Amino acid sequence: MSQKFQASVHHRDDVSYVKLSGVIDEDNELTTLTDKIPAGTAVIDLGEIERINSCGVRDWVNWLGKLETQATRAVLVECSPAIVAQINLVNNFTGSGVVKSFYVPYFCPECDEEKVLLVEAVDMGGGPHEPPTCRCDECDLVMDFDDMADSYFAFLSNQKKIAEPEKINGVIKEFASGDNGEKSKIRSRTGTSSLHSSSVSSLPSVPSLPSISRPSGSSPQITAKPGSRPSMTPVTTTTQPGMRPVGSFQGTNPGSRPGNFTSPGTNPGTSGPPSFGGSVAAERQALVAPKSSVIIYVLVAVLLAAIGVLAFLLFSSK
């Protein structure tokens, strides 16, 4: 996750070193820094700014305007790729300030690694501007520039000179390094590790199914009663050398149905498994019986109709 906006201010003579990090959005605290920065030169370190939104751009431009009204010159150092993008998009993003150094993004297709290289603006020359060569720390191959050179280095065409560069370099060396010694010009891209870690989510664990315990040397038998679900009962299995254990159903022959299942047309109260032929005969008898009764009813109706017609003819003849 991206860090919240953080800021710190250090002073050395008439030069103020302002370290900003995190995200510059609507919750930034730039206005609280105005009174902490006296007139002179403000070296603003933007190397750890991961993102800046539209509200942050508005507050940033207004904040630089306030610093200029109190005779403070802004020198932007270690501008992250997010800041460089806004410098190229917003016309007055730097105000009357100047960019001293910025990070250039690189990508290694072999190792899938992202790096940023710190570049001094004065070392880029007058143009056309090409990204410096950067090698991968893992495979030592030349990394690909992770942007469009024409658009990324566009701000350099309006670059201004820095006043008192030696004094500014001394302040940067004193406060930028901190307790970690001299800063490395090559480092992992800001926010890359945090983004990768947040995108990997742990999958929910699948609960294990309850195991069915069975006695040693036995296999389950399916038994059922009329109107109930089948239940599992152990049945002893027989094995022969070189063969796997094979379970058998009690009261059945190979290829026949389990003995405890009742077939259609049989009486559930009868004991013993019905044969396959008996069950077919019972089914056939159950199907034939309704048909015969219907035929009888039809014949009776036909006879009654015939008797009625004969009676009508006899009475009408008289």
145-188 pLDDT, tens digit per residue, is 999 999 999 999 888 888 888 999 999 998 886 544 445 566 66
- Count of domains observed in the chain: 2
Task: Single out the residue in 197, 225, 243 at which a domain terminates.
Answer: 197
Is the domain of 176 the same as that of 304? no
**Which segment, 73-87, 182-196, 267-281, is predicted with the most confidence on average?**
73-87
Domain that holds residue 114: 6-197
Q: State pLDDT tens for residues 199-249.
A: 333 333 334 444 444 444 444 444 444 444 444 444 444 444 444 444 433
| Percent over 90 (pLDDT), the chain | 47
Sheet strands (E) in 127-230 = 144-145, 186-188, 218-223
Q: Are residues 44 and 174 in the same domain?
A: yes
The answer as to whether 208 is a domain residue is: no
Does some domain include residue 236?
Answer: no
Lowest mean pLDDT among 29-33, 123-127, 288-292, 307-311: 288-292
According to DSSP, the β-strands at 6-12 and 15-24 are: antiparallel
Same domain flag for 51 and 178 = yes
Instruction: Check residues 127 and 22 and name the one with the higher pLDDT.
Output: 22
| pTM listed for this prediction | 0.58
- My answer on whether 45 and 149 are in the same domain is yes
Q: Which residues pair with 144 in a beta bridge?
A: 107
Q: Where are the beta strands (DSSP E) in 37-183?
A: 40-52, 72-77, 98-99, 101-108, 113-120, 144-145
For residues 309 and 188, state if they share a domain: no
What CATH number should be reported for the domain holding residue 142? 3.30.750.24
What mean pLDDT do residues 57-82 have?
95
Instruction: Please state, rounded to an integer, the average pLDDT across all residues of the chain.
Output: 74
Look at residues 267, 263, 259, 273 and name the one whose alpha carbon lies nearest to residue 222: 259
Q: Which of 167, 197, 227 is the last residue of a domain?
A: 197
Which of 166, 197, 228 corresponds to the end of one domain? Answer: 197
